Structure 1
């Protein structure tokens, strides 16, 4: 049994800027796409593996096949 498309964690290919990771996470969590993107960019000034996490999610998250 699979979860409905809105409940699955997938990269949003319709509203993507780079890979659709932030848009997919925002859709899954019910947040604003631009708000999550802004939070990611702001978090990049803090020490931590933000870019590595983004690339890992880019590889792991399946593409959204809705068009």
Structure 2
């Protein structure tokens, strides 16, 4: 998997679990947006009901290449 690839979300924890199975495009992980985990590997963006995009980080084992 590399930045720009489309991937399927395999597993998530907490409130992001409702996104399981969604196909997203990988973006580079920006450590400035990732204050909790310095080991972030990828960042993806979700469109929410308001039309805005919300970003979240993932590790490789959370994602499945398609």
The reply to whether TM is greater than 0.5 is no
Which has more helix, going by share of residues? 1
Structure having the higher Rg: 1
What TM-score, normalized to structure 2? 0.29
Q: TM-score, normalised by structure 1?
A: 0.29
